[in-house]
Each structure stands twice: as C-alpha cells, then as structure tokens.
A and B are shown apart, each in its own frame.
Chain A
Amino acid sequence: MKKIFVLAFSLFLLQMSKGQLTINFVMSATPPSAITSWNDKKEVLSLFVSPAQGIQLTYKIKTEIKLSDGTVIGRTDLARAATYTAASTNTVYYAGDVIPLENMIFTGKYKTGLERTGKLLSDNYQLCVSLVRPTDYSPVADEKCRSFYLASLQLPILIKPSNEEVLDAAVANQVIIFRWSPVVPRQTLPVRYRLNVMEVLDHQSAMQAFRSNQPLLSTEIRGTTQYNWQVQGIINCCSTPLPGDTIIVPIQSASPATLAAGSFKKYVWTIQTLDQQGRALGDGNINGDGVSEPAIFYVSKHSK
C-alpha cells in the first residue's frame, strides 16, 4: 500500500512538474517560405508562456519542425539553445526565439535547401513547441503543435512588351498593351498590381532611369494582368521621318542594335505587387519592395 502511495505521489509530482508552465502559440497558416525572414514579422509566430506560480524555474524552448507524416526535419539543438527564466507575468516569444536558426539542426535536403535559399521546400508542415529543463531536458510544459503550409512566392514576370522589344511608334504613340504573369501562388485576397513606366533619358542606364525618373505611367490594376495604356502624347516619338531617313516598315523587324541614335526612345517598365493593405509582396528578395525584374522597350519609326 505504501509503495502504491509513493508511486502515485511520484506520478503526481511528475505531472505537476511537467505542467508547471503552460504555453500557447499562434501561427500564420501560410507564413513566408523564407524562414530567415520570419524573425522580422511578429505576425508569423507568437509563443505565450504563462507566469510561473511562485517558483524559480529556468527552461529552454524545444522546437521541432515536422512533415505532415510526423517525420522530424528540423529541431532545436538544446545544448546550444538559450536558457530563459520563468517570469511572474506572461512572456511572449517570437520566431527568432522559437526557431533560432543558428541553433537549429535540419536534416538532408531541407538542410541543403535552407542553406542555399533560406527557404524550406514547398509543403505542409507542423511546428511543435514545448519547454524543457536546461539540465535533463525533461518537459516543464506540454507540447503544442500548429500546422502550416509553405509556398514560395513568385513575383510577376513581364510578358509584353518583352525585354528589348521595339515597338512601332505609329501605334505606340496611341496605345501600348502591357501584360505580365500573375503572382504565384494565387493569394487568398486579390493583389494590387502597380504598373510603372519610365523614360530612359539619353545619358541614363535603364536602372538609373528606373530609380530616378518620375513615372510617365503609374497606375494600379486589380484582378487582371493586362493593361491598355492610352498614351496621349506623352511618348511622342519620332513623329515624322526627316528627309534622308530610311523608314523601316515594319519596325518589328528591327532590333535595338539597328536603331540609329536619335531615331528612337527608350523606356523601362515594371510591376510592383502589393497586398490589399498596400504592403509590398515579396519573399526575401533583396529590395523587399515587391518590384519585378524591370524590362526595357524601344519606340521607333525610322532609322538613318
């Protein structure tokens, strides 16, 4: 009887010690695929640790990233993980604390992929978090898991006018059709595409013009990936051939290299992709401004 009592009391203590802290966490179901950027975004993950009830307790955050079949592909290296002291009030941790990449161990292709790209492969995952003692890694809080889906976001690709395309001034002075691919994957809410066109002045490179000139066109398009720009004279290229000029008919057969100096105008255009709130979409690209790789087009009518 005494043994049974001791055993029951031990189990009770064990249960008590395991449950000394309670945790809860919220996580975005579709966080950015660039796991390296999670730390910047508090909305991705928040872990709440309840206050300790009058006891001195230290703990480490144990995190595991699993595939939907339960295979662990990444976990915290507990030996190197930071040690925290339980506070008397609620404590909130974010992605940088819960998934400290410098202390995470990933396996196989996930490790390689993360090193190369800062992203995990597109798939369904589970993030499981618990708190453990720093000494023997025994749990001090129940494990909590959340599922999430990662999909690498791909900004639009400019389709028309294609890069370095030469447009016939007779048409381009009236209307120019712009087309681009949609953002992939399709977002839950419709995205806002901002189409910008800048003139490249004689002494400028295309990138210089893109970064410094006021857009001749800056308009927002929702729900479609084509825009017909009624130019209304702002391009006004090469209206009349001068005597001695050779008229290239049609200009489509010309390449930028065959255009004589002064017989054409050069433009750079791009799409900036924004979410419903006007924030730039992007997935860890250098600029983080949702701007697709710009393309150049020429407007010309004749060469010398």
Chain B
Amino acid sequence: MRKKNQSLVLLMLLSTMASAQTTAPKIKVSGTMGVNYEGYGLNRNPAGWTGFSQRKPWNQVRFNFQPTITTPKWSLPFNFNFATTPTNAFGPFANIGKQNIGQYISNPMNNFAVNPTYKWAEIQLGTQYLNYSNLSTGDIGIFGAGVDLKPGKFRVKFFKGISQQGINFFSGGPNGSYKRKNWMAQLGVEREGKYELSFNFAKGKDDVNSITSPPPGLKAQEGFTLSMVTKINFTKGWYMNVEGAQSLYTKDLAQPLTNLIKSFKPFLEARSSTVKDYAGEGMIGRKSKDFDIGLKVKYLGAGFQTVGYPFLQPDRIDYTVNTRFNAFKNKTNVTASIGQRVNNVSNTSLRAKQFIGNLNWFSQIDDHWSVNINYNNFGFQSNSGINPYGIKNVSNDLGINPTYTWSNEKMIHLLSLSYNYSKYDERDVLTGLITSNNTHTALLTYVPTYLQKDMTPDFTVMYFLNKLPGFKTTLLTLSSGLSMPAAKKKLQLRGQLQYTFSKNNSFTGNNNFIASCSIDCKMNKKLTWTNYLATNYFKYGNEIIPNGANYLESNFRTGLQYRFGK
C-alpha cells in the first residue's frame, strides 16, 4: 500500500514537472508515464484440490516512465519500465526471490534506458535491446553503454555491457547463470531507402569466477559472430537483402585450448569444445501497390550459434516464395506462400522436411457480401532412422468465412459466419498407423451498429468439435458484449458475458461462465484512468476427481496513464 501511495505521489510530481517544462518554448516534452496495479485471485473447491494453477502473479505493480525531452539540438528519450514482483519462468531468473540491485536492473522484466541524441550521434545508456542484423545479434537485452553514430552515410555502432548477472544455483531456488559480458559493433555505410553495407560483430563471454555454485550441466561459454549485410533497393520496387555470417562458439570454457580448430584472435581463442560454422540469408523480390513477390532463403549450419540469438535452431535450410496481389479494382486480395524447411541438414539419415503452404483469398463480391477463404498446409517428415517408419505429421486447415452486411437509416448490421476444418495426421514410427485429429470450428457473429446511438453490442455463438480415436471434445459458447460512452464521453464502458458448455467423451459436461468489464476514464486531456475487472467461474462435471470440482478466478487491473506534451 505504501509503495502504491509513493507511486501516485511520484506520478503527480512528475506530471507537475512536465507541465512546467512544456511552458518553456524551446523545450518540448512528449511521451507517457504511468503506474498499473494488477491483482489476481483464485478460489478452488473443494479445499485442497489443486487441479487448476494460478495464471498470473497475485499482485503486481508496473511502472512506466517514457518521456522524451526535445530541444532544438538535443533529444533525450527515457525508457523506464519496471515491476515490483519477479515472475520469470525461464532462464537464470526463474524462481528468483529477493534480487540484489544488479540482478533487479538486469532482470529482463525491467528496463532502464536513456538515449540522449545530438544530431547524428546517439548515446545509449542502460538496458538496450539492439538489433544489428538477423544473424548477429537482436534478441538479447544488455545493460551497459554504447553509441550509435550516423555521420552522413557512415554507420558506427558500439555497445558493451552485461546480458546476465551471476546467479548462484541452489535446489528449489533460481536456475542460476554465469555472469555474461557482451559487446557488439557495427561498421557500415547506408543511404536510407537505397542501399546498406555493414559488418557486424557480436561477442559474449561468461565470467567463470562469477558464481560459486553453477547450475548443474551448465558450462561457462563464449561466442563470437561476424556478419556482413548488404541491402539494395533497385528501381520499380525491386529489392535484394543478403547476409552472410560466421560464428565461433565455445561450449565449455573449462576445456583446454587447441590448435586443431582455427582461432579467431583476438576475438576468440579456440578450445576443444569450440565449433565454427556459417549461416546465410537472402531475399529478393519486388513490392508495388497491387503486386508483391519475394523469394527468401535461410541457411543455418549445424554448428552456427550466436549469443545474440540464443534460441536460434541451427542445422536447417528454408526457402519460401511469397506473393500478394490485388485484382478486380482492389476488391479481391490474395496472399500466398509456398516453401520448404529442411531440418537436420547435416544429418542425412535423419533429415526432416517440412512443407509450408498458405493461401488467403478475400473478395468483396458486392456491397453486401464478402468472402474469405484460407488454406494452410504444414507437412513434417523425417527419415526412419532405426525405426521401421519415419515421422510424418501433416496439418491441414481450411477456413471459409462469408460475411453479409446490410443497413437502413438507423442501423448497420453485420452477420459473419466462419467455418474452419482442421485435420492433423500423425504417423506412429513403430506401427505405421496414422492417427487423425480432426477439428471443426463454426462461429456466427452478429454486430449491429446504431447510427444514432453510441452503444455497440455484439453477439457470437461458437461450436467447436475435436475428435481423435478414443477422444471427443465438444464446446458450445455463447457470448455477448456491449460498449458505450458515458458521462459526456468521459467514460468508456465495455462489458462482456460469456457462457461455455464443454464435454469430453461421455463425461457429464463442464460449465464455464465469464464476466468482464472495463471502465476507462478520461480525467483530463492528459490523464487517463483505466480499470478492468474479470471473473471466470468453471465447474467440472465428472471427468475429474473430485467430481464437481470448481474454481473462481478473478483479475483486476487499474492504472493511471499520463501523456506528456500538448
């Protein structure tokens, strides 16, 4: 409570400061700041039953402070976003309780960044998520300092910092990690919209001595990636983007140095656990108002690993052709893509192929009717290896969606039917038997819009049927919503009610009732107060023990958001 009061006082103080600043003619302040509280509740019955888990933190307060102060020469954008309760589920911070200041700052849930900019020079301070290119770095946040310089056509970027803190592992506590220091650099030339040539460097190295209790199985690592990016935009909408990269990655810094693998000094000295591989990406195509076409190819060698994209799955090549066109005076719009992804490229006996095909066709037939048809196919197939049959999974989705609109002087009516058939076949690698998982989804939506009133209701009915051998799930959902302004449009109210009946096999049905409402209040031109309340009651039939188990979930959000500037 004390924390919340402090937050409100801080917010009011800052808004006063901001108002004062806006009076100065040459200094402008724009952006936003705010504070949000979210509360979550869960009551499960009977007592002691744990069949449904908490889906949000019980209490969470989030702050954002993102003003940009601009003078004729300088720009000073702040980007502060932070929360009171850590909720990390993956990575080193998972299960962390109390954090020290270093850990709090580098926790990916918090952002503290200031980027003062003078003409073409930007200084980057604090937490930065910098994307240099698709194969060098772009997915990690680093707390540190750097520059982004753009004198004329030249591009010089450098950033150095820490992407993860040293966190000791202990059973039942945080996952833990070594402290990882990173730096990245880019040198290049660019003429915006015309061409770009850049060299990117990304390095990360764990500090072996940063923790006393390393997580089991986790080794201190080191990686260095070098890439070259070329982008050219030709006349008539033609373009070409190419990137080639090489990575050196040491998977265990405790392994001895070796001469058998070529080092890349001074950036990385090879050890016996070092791997070195290549990756490449290329795009060529044409964009225009009514017609796009593009070919994209991406190859990642089996040993390609970069600290800048830690979740990248290597050892694959994929190529896709994408197109989009408008026809019949823009009344028909078609987007389509077709391609293939080959996984385990280096492993000929277990190479897996994935076919990708998508088509979406939208036509506005006349003033009343429109129809959309979409079809998606994903096929995944691998060689058999030591099993009698290879893996083969095929996913097919077909959707048809006609819409009819009509109107009179008082109302516009919209009636939309959406039907989707989804078939998913899985082959058993031992018996060769194929299991089909079929899903039918039908959705009917009716939205009347009153031309002389402010209220907007909507109504939907959904039927969902999922069948696979020995299992059948049916859902029927009725839902209705209403939104309307109030108090001379200072309030915006929205409410929704939803009832779902679901049934698995021959068990008795489950009942689910959801009610939600939101109230957004415009307190003045700059300050908005938002509120959201939702409750979800679910009662099982006899499909689980104890029979009739039920839970009541509630979610409450409230927040103040202040907008700087005029």
Contact = CB atoms under 8 A, between A and B. Distances in A.
A6 to B, nearest CB: 46
Contacts of A260: none
Contact of B311 (A121, A162, A252, A293): A293
Interface stretch (A52-60, A125-133, A200-208): A200-208
B277 A116 contact: yes
Interface stretch (A20-28, A61-69, A140-148, A283-291): A283-291
A215 interface: yes
Interface in A72-125: 100-102, 104-105, 113, 115-119, 121-123
A249 B401 contact: yes
B565 interface: no
Contacts of A36: 251-252, 255, 272-273, 275
Interface in B500-514: 500, 502, 512, 514
Contact of B275 (A118, A171, A224, A247): A118
Nearest to A105: B260
Interface string A14-37: 000000000000000000011011
A228 B55 contact: no
A61 to B, nearest CB: 16
B217 A160 contact: no
B313 A157 contact: yes
Contact of B456 (A152, A236, A243): A243
Interface string B487-506: 00000101010101010000
B486 interface: no
Nearest to A241: B456
B410 to A, nearest CB: 15
A174 interface: yes
A285 B475 CA distance: 40
Given A171-B443, A212-B109, A40 B81 contact: no
A266 interface: no
Given A232-B536, A250-B401, A287 B454 contact: no
A236 B53 CA distance: 18
Contacts of B391: 181-182, 184, 186
A104 B475 CA distance: 61
A199 B141 CA distance: 18
Contact of A185 (B354, B387, B481): B387
B148 interface: no
A250 B363 CA distance: 11
B61 to A, nearest CB: 13
Main secondary structure of the interface of B (DSSP, over half): strand
Contact of A233 (B221, B482, B516): B516
Interface in A163-212: 168, 170-171, 173-175, 177, 179, 181-182, 184-186, 196, 198, 201, 203-205, 207-208, 210-212
Contact of A242 (B81, B422, B456): B456
Contacts of A154: 315, 343-344, 350, 352, 382
B542 interface: no
B303 interface: yes
B335 A253 contact: yes
Interface string B452-471: 00101110101010100000
B218 A288 contact: yes
Contacts of A241: 447, 456, 458, 483
A159 interface: yes
A234 B424 CA distance: 26
B402 to A, nearest CB: 10
Given A184-B350, A247-B447, A293-B313, A170 B460 contact: yes
A39 interface: yes
Contacts of A138: none
Given A154-B352, A216-B55, A226 B346 contact: no
Contacts of B53: 218
Interface stretch (B69-77, B231-239, B372-380): B372-380
Classify chain A: how many residues form its interface, as a range. 35 or more
B182 interface: no
Nearest to B362: A253
B528 interface: no
Interface residues on B, range: 35 or more
A118 B466 CA distance: 43
A24 to B, nearest CB: 26
B64 A203 contact: yes
Contacts of A259: none
A214 interface: yes
B8 interface: no
B255 A39 contact: yes
A212 B399 contact: no
B256 A102 contact: yes
Given A171-B418, A239-B494, A249-B414, A214 B385 contact: no
Given A170-B443, A213-B89, A240-B456, A185 B386 contact: yes
B50 interface: no
A230 B475 contact: yes
Given A159-B378, A218-B53, A253-B335, A121 B498 contact: no
Contacts of A134: none
29 contacts: A36-B275, A102-B260, A105-B260, A113-B302, A115-B276, A119-B302, A152-B302, A154-B315, A159-B395, A181-B393, A184-B344, A203-B111, A208-B108, A211-B108, A213-B89, A213-B109, A233-B536, A233-B553, A233-B555, A239-B483, A242-B483, A249-B401, A249-B414, A250-B372, A252-B372, A252-B374, A286-B221, A287-B311, A291-B90
Given A186-B391, A242-B492, 15 more contacts: A36-B255, A40-B252, A115-B276, A154-B344, A170-B479, A175-B475, A182-B391, A207-B141, A213-B87, A214-B56, A215-B89, A224-B426, A240-B458, A242-B483, A249-B414
Interface of B: 53, 55-57, 62, 64, 66, 79, 81, 86-91, 93, 107-109, 111, 129, 139-141, 217-219, 221, 223, 249, 251-252, 255-258, 260-261, 271-273, 275-277, 301-303, 305, 307, 310-313, 315, 333, 335, 341, 343-344, 346-350, 352, 354, 360, 362, 370, 372, 374, 376, 378, 380, 382, 385-387, 391, 393, 395, 397, 399, 401, 403, 414, 416, 418, 420, 422, 424, 426, 429, 437, 439, 441, 443, 445, 447, 449, 454, 456-458, 460, 462, 464, 466, 473, 475, 477, 479, 481-483, 492, 494, 496, 498, 500, 502, 512, 514, 516, 534, 536, 538, 553, 555
Interface of A: 33-34, 36-37, 39-40, 100-102, 104-105, 113, 115-119, 121-123, 149, 151-152, 154-155, 157, 159-160, 162, 168, 170-171, 173-175, 177, 179, 181-182, 184-186, 196, 198, 201, 203-205, 207-208, 210-218, 224-226, 228, 230, 232-234, 236, 239-243, 247, 249-250, 252-253, 255, 270, 284-289, 291-294
